[in-house]
C-alpha cells in the first residue's frame, strides 16, 4: 500500500515515496512520512483520511496507547543502562547527542509524573 493521505481541511492529497520523505499538506494539518513504513501524523485526527491504492478514502481508527506503569518505565531505564554498559569501550568516551539526552529526560519525566499521580 502506498503512503498517501488526504486533508479534510485543505483537501490536499499527499504521498511519501521514500523512507526519508516527509510530506505535509498545504495547511499543515496532516503529514505522511517513511514511504512504505506508512508513518503519519495529524494536528487533529478528524482531518486525516488515508488514501488506499484504489483511491478510496479510509477514516483511520486512532487508538490511544495506555499510559506506561511506573514499573515499565523503570524497566526501560534499566534497559538503557544495560545497553550503555554493553557499548564498546571507545564509544564510552564519545559525547552523547541531544536525541540521547532527550530520550533520557522523557523517561525520567514519565517516572516523576507517575510518582506524583500516585501521591495524589
Residues in the chain where the model's pLDDT stays below 70: 120
Secondary structure of residue 13 in the 3-state scheme: strand
Instruction: Report the chain's mean pLDDT, rounded to a whole number.
Output: 90
* Structure confidence by residue, pLDDT tens digits, 42-69: 999 999 999 999 999 999 988 887 888 8
C-alpha cell at 62: 486512532
pLDDT at 119: 76
Secondary structure of residue 57 in the 3-state scheme: strand
Interacting residues of 13 by C-beta distance below 8 A, sequence separation 6+: 4, 5, 6, 51
pLDDT at 55: 93
Kindly report whether the global pTM for this prediction surpasses the value 0.85: no
pLDDT at 83: 87
Secondary structure of residue 30 in the 3-state scheme: strand
Amino acid at each position: 500500500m502506498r503512503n498517501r493521505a488526504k486533508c479534510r481541511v485543505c483537501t490536499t492529497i499527499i504521498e511519501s515515496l521514500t523512507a526519508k520523505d516527509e510530506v505535509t499538506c498545504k495547511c499543515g494539518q496532516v503529514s505522511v512520512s517513511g514511504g512504505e513504513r506508512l508513518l503519519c501524523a495529524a494536528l487533529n485526527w478528524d482531518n486525516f483520511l488515508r488514501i488506499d491504492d484504489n483511491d478510496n478514502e479510509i477514516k483511520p481508527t486512532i487508538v490511544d496507547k495506555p499510559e506506561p506503569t511506573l514499573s515499565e518505565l523503570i524497566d526501560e531505564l534499566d534497559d538503557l543502562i544495560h545497553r550503555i554498559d554493553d557499548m564498546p569501550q571507545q564509544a564510552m568516551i564519545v559525547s552523547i547527542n541531544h536525541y540521547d539526552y532527550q530520550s533520557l529526560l522523557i523517561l525520567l519525566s514519565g517516572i516523576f509524573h507517575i510518582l506524583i499521580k500516585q501521591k495524589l
